[in-house]
Each structure stands twice: as C-alpha cells, then as structure tokens.
Amino acid sequence: MYREKHPLKSVCLLRLSSLGDVTHMIPIINAIKNENHRTDITWIINKTEYELVKNIKNVRFIVIDKKKLYRSIRQLYKLRKSITFDVLLHMQVSLRSNILSMIIKSNRRIGFSKPLSRNFHFFFNNEEINCRKNIHVLDTFFCFLKKISINEEKLDWSLNIVNHDLQKKLVTSKYVVINPFTSSRRFNYREWNLEYYKDISYFLYKKYQIKTIVVGGSSKYEVEKSKTFSGINYIDNLIAKTDLEELYIILENCDAYIGPDSGTLHMASMLHKPVVGLYATSNPKRTGPYRNMKYTINKYPDALKIFENKSEDDVQWGFRVRNKKAMSLIKIEDVKAMINKIMS
C-alpha cells in the first residue's frame, strides 16, 4: 500500500454537491488541515453549496456556476497552468465531475472503487479507495484520507459562521426546526405528508409550549407547498426566506430537528442536535444522521418487505424503495414518541 514519504504539499478535492455530502466534507477538509497546516488545499464546489462553507480558512475555492459554466471552466484551466497537485481526491460520482477532473493536473488521482462508482468514474482516476462494504457515506470519505495516510477520523465541523443579530433573536425562545422537503430528483419519494408536520407542530406547542420553524428552499414547488404552514401562530414559515448561513444559525440554536433525508438534516446532525430522521425509502445506516441515530425512525426494512418483497440482505447497499406509499409507513405517533424521548 502507498505511503507518503513527505507531507503533501497540495491537495485538490472535487466534490461539487449535494448539501448533505458537502456537509460531510467539512471534517475531511479539517483533518487535512490538522495533519499539516502548510498543505495547499483547493476545493472545487458548486456555487449553491459554497455559500455554506465559504468561511473555512486556508482553502482555495474554485466555484462552479452552472449558469456561467464557461467562466467556471476558464477558472479551472487557469488553475491547471499554475499548479500540478500532489493528489486529486475525486470524491463525486457524476458525468460532470468526470469531465471537470480531466482539466485538473495531478500526479495521483484517487477515486471510488468500481463497486461504488458509475458513469465510468474509475476511468478518470489512477488509484481507488479501499473500503469495507455497507458503511455510511461519510465513512467512505474517510477512506480517501486513509489513502493519503491520514488516519484521523475526528469530527471537526468548524465553520466560523457568525450572525449576532439573528443569534440574539433566536436565543430568547425554544423551537424545533422542520424541513419537509428533499431532493427534487424524479422518483425520490422521501417526503412525508405535509399535514402530518402540522399535527406534530401542534403537538409540540400544546404539550411543550415549543414553536416550530419550517424551512426549505426557493424552488417553485417548495414555495407553493409552503402555503400549508401559513397563518398558524405556533409555526414560523421561513421557507425560501433564509440563505445557508442563516439556516446554519437557526439550526445551531434549535432544540431539535425533524425531517427526511436532506442536507438540512445533516447540518442539524453536524451541530449535534437531536435529529428525528424520517427514513423509509433509503437506508439510514448509509445516509442517516452520522453517529446521531438515537432518534431516527427507520421503516426501511418494512418498506423493502412490503413494496419489494425483499430483505436488506437481498438488495445492494444504497438500494432505494421507489414507491410513493413507503413514507406513509411512518406514523404520527412514531414521531411523537421520539419527541417525548428528546424532551424527557
């Protein structure tokens, strides 16, 4: 196995998205910095996700803007002329990242192993990570560190985000955060019934005198659905009204978080908040709140049995139950029971 004789002088990390996976990248970046503070670190990342991590110090960001792709590619070519990296950590499996990786000059190009890759990802690398099967997504990221002889798995989520005005406003009250939305990809089916969240919010207010803040993105779908939460005195509807830094501060000061698998869930977990994760279509052992599964509701085995007539042993790691009815296996009483555990 390859071992570094000298500290790495330069590392390029290619992970564009999504918000949850970018959140998982934070301890990876910090581990590299902790190993050798002199290492030149470059991170190639999408414009949207960059807004969360832009305050990380001593990292050069190459921001990819889908709407200005030509300009973004010019940035990469400029980088190519100025530096040949010791190592490229190609940490995204997508056609777009494959294409962008071709522009980057690096002596070592480390990517996922064939069983973990698609879109011919392995053709664009000259080394691959060695990982145990059936592990959490973040643990696969730690495998990249081991490949460059960094064995640290300390969860350092430091982001240096400060908003004094918002923090002062939030610390005066107790509240729970809900993000009912997930990825907009077709056949995702990870969302729970919006009316159920209203019932949960009423339960929180009636039993514990705790208000709910509902958050979400600015897509046409989310804005339209946000009307479900309007005009209710114990719900603050902030859907499409926060940027990622404001969302971070809101989560940092909350008492608990409730929602399906999403980037917001992983941010709340990163901040060590009690997370009631709602899982039925995907396996929380792979994509759940990392080392924070105490309050996760896991109906994935039931969904596999009911809708696929299979068990976890019968399907590949990462298999999703693509059935609209799967999330209905999670009952309101299941969520209330978890809330009672958190509040007790």
* In-domain check, residue 173: yes
Which element (helix H / strand E) includes 47?
Answer: helix 47-53
Instruction: Tell me how far apart the alpha carbons of residues 80 and 90 are, in angstroms, rounded to a whole number.
Output: 16
- Percent of the chain having pLDDT more than 70? 96
Structure tokens at 197: 């969240």
Q: What is the pLDDT of residues 2-60, one digit of tens each?
A: 444 567 999 999 999 999 999 999 999 999 999 988 999 999 999 999 999 999 999 99
Domain that holds residue 231: 164-343
Note whether 222 and 337 are same-domain residues: yes
Contact at 8 Å (CB) between 282 and 290? no
pLDDT of 85 strictly over 70: yes
Which of the four pLDDT bands, split at 50, 70 and 90, describes residue 186?
A: low
Q: What is the pLDDT of residues 188-222, one digit of tens each?
A: 899 999 999 999 999 999 999 999 999 999 999 99
Q: What is the pLDDT of residues 253-285, one digit of tens each?
A: 999 999 999 999 999 999 999 999 999 999 999
Q: Tell me how many domains the chain contains.
A: 2
Contact at 8 Å (CB) between 85 and 42? yes
* In-domain check, residue 236: yes
- Please state the rounded mean pLDDT for residues 237-243: 95
Note whether 169 and 137 are same-domain residues: no
Q: Name the residue with higher pLDDT: 133 or 97.
A: 97
Note whether 85 and 170 are same-domain residues: no
Q: How does the average pLDDT of the chain come out, rounded?
A: 93
Note whether 118 and 241 are same-domain residues: no
Note whether 221 and 192 are same-domain residues: yes
Residue 229 carries which DSSP code? G
Contact at 8 Å (CB) between 328 and 320? no
Contact at 8 Å (CB) between 280 and 301? no
Residue ending a domain, among 147, 172, 193, is 147
The CATH number of whichever domain residue 177 belongs to comes to: 3.40.50.2000
Instruction: Tell me how far apart the alpha carbons of residues 247 and 252 are, in angstroms, rounded to a whole number.
Output: 8
When mean pLDDT is compared across 68-77, 98-107, 200-209, 235-244, the lowest value belongs to 68-77
Q: What is the pTM of this model?
A: 0.92
- Please state the rounded mean pLDDT for residues 160-181: 83
* pLDDT for position 2: 47
Contact at 8 Å (CB) between 281 and 300? yes
* pLDDT for position 4: 46
Note whether 45 and 91 are same-domain residues: yes
